[in-house]
Amino acid sequence: MRLGVLDVGSNTVHFLVVDAHPGAAPVPAYSHKIELRLAELLDADGAIGEVGVEKLVEMVASSMRVAEDKGVEEVLPFATSAVREAANGEEVLKRVQRETGVELQVLSGGDEARLTFLAARRWYGWSAGRLLLLDIGGGSLEIACGLDQQPDAAVSLPLGAGRLTAGWLPGDPPEAEDVRRLRRHVRAEIARTVAEVVRLGSPDRFVGTSKTFKQLARITGAAREADGPYLPRRLTRGSLSAWVPRLAAMTAGQRALLPGVSEGRARQLLAGALVADGAMDLFGVDELDICPWALREGLILRRLDQMSGEQ
């Protein structure tokens, strides 16, 4: 069947159409997205402003038109940390439903971590052993670890690249003291979770997902996304640590010229690198694999599992 996944994230609103069947890998058929960067559009009271709400409603409505055009049988609509934590999140959800007919499911941080872990587990299989997953989004950092399809530990921290950039790095390039302050903050937050995450054993494989890790791997020498999902892509802590001071010295415009870095994400890349560097250091990760699947695929896989159970 043809499924649509509407992902209202902290950076991007993405509508992905896939051909999906129980027991088979979902195959992407069409992608429709815009970069709203909701995590950076919050006002002083922590609410999503009118411009952001209007753009969100417009994107949801256009995604439903695409769904009809592409023959989508079922849409899985969800929202993550930007809407979940916005002061006016409930009002935004009601307005989206009123004006588009779409009821967005708001995922908790724990749900994000567990669904992303499911996607990584299915991608690498049981032979990968105990996985430690790191996922840096626009609004939050998800960490999960486990041996089965469901992780033993699933943690979400307010350490998304967009959120941290807006709140901690106002300069372009940022002031050195601002970078140091953010580095201390990031590492203190992550350090609180280490014992909980690895309490049941040391991971056999380390995995990073989503755009920030993909971009960091690309600037350190990994293959392009255009070369296909099956090429192995890795990020080493040594290469990442060498890049952090270079990114800190660059303007957003200069970062946008780096391979694989989009103009819309360039400003956030330094904050994302500080989070990745801190997480890899504190969890003792020398090298991690970049997984092509993440939260959207996790939702699709969960739905396919549910369909198998209904048959």
* DSSP secondary structure, 142-188, as one string: EEEEESSSS-SEEEEES--HHHHHHHH--SSSPPHHHHHHHHHHHHH
Integer Cα distance of 87 and 142 in angstroms? 22
- Can you name the CATH fold of 2-106? Nucleotidyltransferase; domain 5 (3.30.420)
pLDDT at res. 307: 86
Question: Residue 209: its pLDDT value, please?
Answer: 96
Which among 104, 85, 106, 71 is positioned nearest to 41, based on CA atoms? 85
Question: Which tokens hold the place of 206?
Answer: 């380390």
pLDDT at 272: 98
pLDDT of residue 130: 97
For residue 311, what pLDDT is reported?
56
pLDDT at residue 190 in the model: 98
Q: What is the pLDDT of residue 40?
A: 76
Which residues, given as ranges, of the chain have pLDDT below 70? 310-311
Domain boundaries, the chain: 2-106, 109-295
Tell which CATH architecture fits domain 109-295.
2-Layer Sandwich (3.30)
Whether 2-106 and 109-295 share one fold: the answer is yes
